[in-house]
Structure 1
Amino acid sequence: MTRNTILVMILALTAGLVACTGQKSDPDKFRKGWTLAWEDDFDGKTGLDTWSKIPRGKQHMSRYMSDNEALYILEDGLLVLRGVENAGNNAEIPFLTGGITRQGVKKNSVSRVEVRARMNPVAGAVPFVSLLPSDGTGNIAIDIMERYGYDEFIYQSVTSQYTTTEGMPDNPPSSALVGVNPNQFHTYGVETYPDSVVFFVDNNRTKKYPRILTDIPGQFPFNDMDLDLFIGIRLNKDTDSTELPVDMFIDWVRYYEPETNN
């Protein structure tokens, strides 16, 4: 074997090792008992083709939503959603925010949704990941993650007629505070079942909200309707405009269905 042949073989082996180590390793992507039905890693190849921008509306979440391209930035394999001051003396609203939505959980189904994200803090800014009724029914939500201002924790909660109008947020407890550093990337997840909603952070179970027997209406509506996935930034009237822009960095979104033995 000649010296040149040996050198070529060494170079080829080295290139192979670099190619292998350069691959993004994600052992949690494929979960036991679950099938990955779809994912979006925002690599820029498809843009936001599978998503819709949240339209401006009267709800607190959408009052400042805009389709302005400056609020939706795809770079380095991330989607950056932004909230900014709406500058100008003739501005109709004080802020503009970015948010995306797509079909989420079908009624009478079992599913798992995960979003890996981080955010930079601004007083009065609330990044969120939520499941909301597809038909626009109000007062119903599964909030997979909400972070208020500079809080060093996030909220995970459910909202329904039972928890609000009927005044029963504590039986069973409808929300949990999870201590994390939201400035760092974390994976926020939820599993939906006919009899419960189970929350996760970084694959650690943080809370379960069950269906219970009760004569009080509206306790567990989440299995009875289609729920769409909403990701975005909410700004409040007390948001400190001098701290803007506020950004939410989304690495990926994944949707799982139960594994079948076909």
Structure 2
Amino acid sequence: MRKYLIAILIIATAILSSCFRQYNNDDTYRKGWTLAWEDDFDEFSNESVWSKTPRDKQHSFRYMSDSESLYKLQDGNLVLRGMQDPEGNEKLPFITGGIYTQAFKANETKRLEIRARINPTYGVTPYISLFPNNSSENIVIDLIEQYDTDEFIYQSVTSQYTTTEGMPDNPPSSALVGVNPIEYHIYGVEKYPDSVVFYVDGTRTKKYPRIPTKIPGQFPFNDLDFDLYIGLRLDKDTDHAGLPVDFYIDWVRFYEPNSVNLTTDEN
């Protein structure tokens, strides 16, 4: 059964890779959107748009550090690094780099794209995620989570409805997308009042809609301000031999609708 599932994934990856190559030279999927802001990381200023992610008890931020060794500019990329703590701290054996900035406002229709590539290793999860600003609720929009050396990524939403209420499948809250993480890909998301729509290299991969339901917390994504977080998540089982590990961010772009009619995803 496992071999059968792997075979299906390989075929799906090949098909999607072909689609991704096609869309790399075709930006018609951006029709209706106007570029509002971009950062090509020709320089990096912690005090302007981006902030370094502080250490926190939340899993994604457990080993965050502001050490300059974790942030570098290389060939037009911002490179975020994960490595062993040079001071040999047993309680915090790793340090990782991460950045965040303001992303989506409540009731705002907006598109976000990030071009990035990954240097994968075991026990490391690069992520590009949207977290609510000033909220401790378990609400997340994940443009990408990539585990170990997997040649696929997860795009998903998390909410009270999908976790506490036990409803991750109605509607499906996540999608598995085959990619070669070593290569650059454009990971995108559009946020509407009634849906969240994901893309990879211009290919639409998933839509999570607002649905009629009495179960609480099904679609909180239009009601909150969200910040964009980019970083690396390590855990106690991370392979020390595979470190340091780097996450290459080529650019980040935000788009706004160029028409007042672009307020919902109709498909």
Do they fold alike, i.e. is TM over 0.5?
yes
Equivalenced residue count is 236
Question: Larger Cα Rg: Structure 1 or Structure 2?
Answer: 1
Give yes or no for the alignment of 1:246 onto 2:224: no
Instruction: Give the aligned CA root-mean-square deviation in angstroms.
Output: 1.8
Instruction: Quote how far apart the aligned CAs of 1:135 are.
Output: 1.2
Report the counterpart of residue 139 of structure 2 in structure 1. 140
Q: CA 1:125–1:90 in 2, change beyond 3 Å: closer, same or farther?
A: closer
Instruction: Give the TM-score normalised by structure 2.
Output: 0.85
- Checking the alignment, whether the CA contact within 8 Å between 2:113 and 2:188 is kept in structure 1 is yes
Q: CA 1:86–1:108 in 2, change beyond 3 Å: closer, same or farther?
A: same
Aligned counterparts of 1:213 and 1:91: Cα–Cα separation in 2: 49
Secondary structure class of the residue paired with 2:30: coil
Q: CA 1:210–1:94 in 2, change beyond 3 Å: closer, same or farther?
A: same
Secondary structure class of the residue paired with 2:256: strand
- Checking the alignment, whether the CA contact within 8 Å between 2:29 and 2:202 is kept in structure 1 is no
Q: CA 1:81–1:181 in 2, change beyond 3 Å: closer, same or farther?
A: same
Q: Following superposition of structure 1 onto structure 2, how do residues 22-171 of structure 1 map, counting pairs within 5 Å?
A: 28=27, 31-44=30-43, 47-48=45-46, 49-90=48-89, 92-171=91-170
Query: What are the superposed Cα offsets for residues 176-209 of structure 1, whole Å, 9 maximum, x if unpaired?
Result: 0000001100000000000000000001000000
In structure 2, stretches of 5+ residues that fail to align are 1-23, 261-267
Aligned counterparts of 2:89 and 2:58: Cα–Cα separation in 1: 23
Q: CA 1:90–1:188 in 2, change beyond 3 Å: closer, same or farther?
A: closer
Aligned counterparts of 1:215 and 1:68: Cα–Cα separation in 2: 47
Report the counterpart of residue 215 of structure 2 in structure 1. 216
Moved more, 79-88 or 141-150: 79-88
Aligned counterparts of 1:214 and 1:61: Cα–Cα separation in 2: 31
Query: What are the superposed Cα offsets for residues 190-240 of structure 1, whole Å, 9 maximum, x if unpaired?
Result: 000000000000010000000000010000000000000000101011101
Aligned counterparts of 1:75 and 1:137: Cα–Cα separation in 2: 35
Instruction: Quote how far apart the aligned CAs of 1:247 are.
Output: 0.5
Instruction: Quote how far apart the aligned CAs of 1:92 are.
Output: 4.4
Secondary structure class of the residue paired with 1:190: strand
Aligned counterparts of 2:63 and 2:73: Cα–Cα separation in 1: 21
Secondary structure class of the residue paired with 1:108: coil
Query: What are the superposed Cα offsets for residues 131-170 of structure 1, whole Å, 9 maximum, x if unpaired?
Result: 1000133210000011001111000000000000000000
Instruction: Quote how far apart the aligned CAs of 1:91 are.
Output: 5.2
Instruction: Quote how far apart the aligned CAs of 1:29 are.
Output: 10
Secondary structure class of the residue paired with 1:61: helix
